[in-house]
């Protein structure tokens, strides 16, 4: 049942062609980003991680809005388990995104675009970071759906959320302790960016700061997904 539902979700999304705008924009970004070489390994991860967060959240928003409302109702009745219905959509989005974030690291590796040879362990770090920021992006993007917003408001709210999440207000307004501490309520994208910024092209070492990011990202995404499921089930009962 679950696998069939995932196949249905991805197939429905592909037929809706709502994936085209984010995919085209992401492909254009990759073409521009990898045009010049050599590329710094960790500075590139800094850039691609932010790009994948935006891309994943955009795909999450378009994916969650691709199914017609009547069709959603029919599918939920067929599944008979609303939690399974919502979670299958999130799993479907994550699976849809896998080729994109894996391809983002394989492209420069295969074409030798980095300033030095990247080690296998560092490739795993790349993929892990891309997976985590992708999961964070999905956990944010799914909230901007038409069951909670009108079409115009969903887009406006999404753009505003991306600005708030990605602009490091905790640094810009570091003298305001309310802003600094409130920033911990947002996805830890800037925490990752700051960690990568000072690496240069040294060999990456998995340290306590990186493990904090992994735990923080997984925990944050999990809380958002549970919250989304609760909000949607409450909304559908109204």
- Overall domain count for the chain: 1
SS3 call for 69: helix
Domain that holds residue 110: 2-237
Dist CA 210 CA 43 (whole Å): 16
Position 125 confidence tier, pLDDT thresholds 50, 70, 90: confident
Q: Is the pLDDT of residue 218 over 90?
A: yes
Query: To which residue do tokens 């675009």 refer?
Result: 113
Position 145 confidence tier, pLDDT thresholds 50, 70, 90: confident
Average pLDDT over residues 52-56: 94
- Reported as half-sphere exposure (CB side, CA atoms, 13 A), residue 160 has a value of 7
Q: What's the start-to-end Cα distance of the chain, in Å?
A: 27
Q: Is the pLDDT of residue 1 over 90?
A: no
Q: What percent of the chain has pLDDT over 70?
A: 90
- Comparing C-alpha atoms, which of 181, 185, 198, 187 is closest to residue 221? 187
Dist CA 133 CA 48 (whole Å): 10
- Per-residue pLDDT of 8-36, as tens digits, reads 889 999 988 889 999 999 999 988 888 87
pTM for the structure as a whole: 0.89
Average pLDDT over residues 152-174: 79
SS3 call for 231: helix
Question: In the prediction, which pLDDT does 128 show?
Answer: 87
Average pLDDT over residues 153-162: 85
């Amino acid at each position: 049942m679950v696998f069939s539902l995932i196949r249905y979700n991805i197939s429905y999304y592909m037929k809706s062609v709502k994936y085209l705008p984010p995919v085209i924009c992401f492909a254009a970004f990759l073409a521009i980003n990898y045009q010049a070489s050599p590329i710094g390994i960790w500075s590139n991860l800094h850039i691609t991680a932010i790009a994948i967060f935006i891309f994943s959240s955009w795909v999450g928003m378009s994916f969650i809005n691709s199914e017609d409302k009547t069709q959603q109702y029919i599918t939920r009745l067929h599944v008979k388990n609303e939690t399974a219905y919502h979670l299958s959509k999130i799993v479907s989005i994550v699976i849809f995104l896998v080729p994109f974030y894996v391809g983002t690291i394989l492209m420069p590796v295969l074409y030798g675009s980095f300033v030095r040879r990247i080690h296998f362990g560092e490739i795993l770090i790349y993929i892990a970071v891309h997976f985590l920021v992708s999961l964070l992006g999905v956990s944010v993007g799914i909230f901007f759906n038409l069951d909670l917003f009108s079409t115009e408001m969903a887009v406006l709210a999404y753009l505003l959320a991306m600005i708030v999440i990605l602009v490091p207000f905790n640094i810009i307004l570091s003298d305001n302790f309310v802003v600094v501490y409130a920033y911990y309520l947002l996805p830890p994208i800037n925490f990752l960016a700051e960690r990568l910024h000072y690496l240069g092209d040294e060999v990456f070492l998995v340290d306590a700061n990186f493990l904090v990011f992994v735990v923080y990202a997984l925990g944050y995404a999990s809380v958002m997904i549970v919250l989304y499921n609760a909000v949607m089930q409450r909304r559908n009962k109204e």
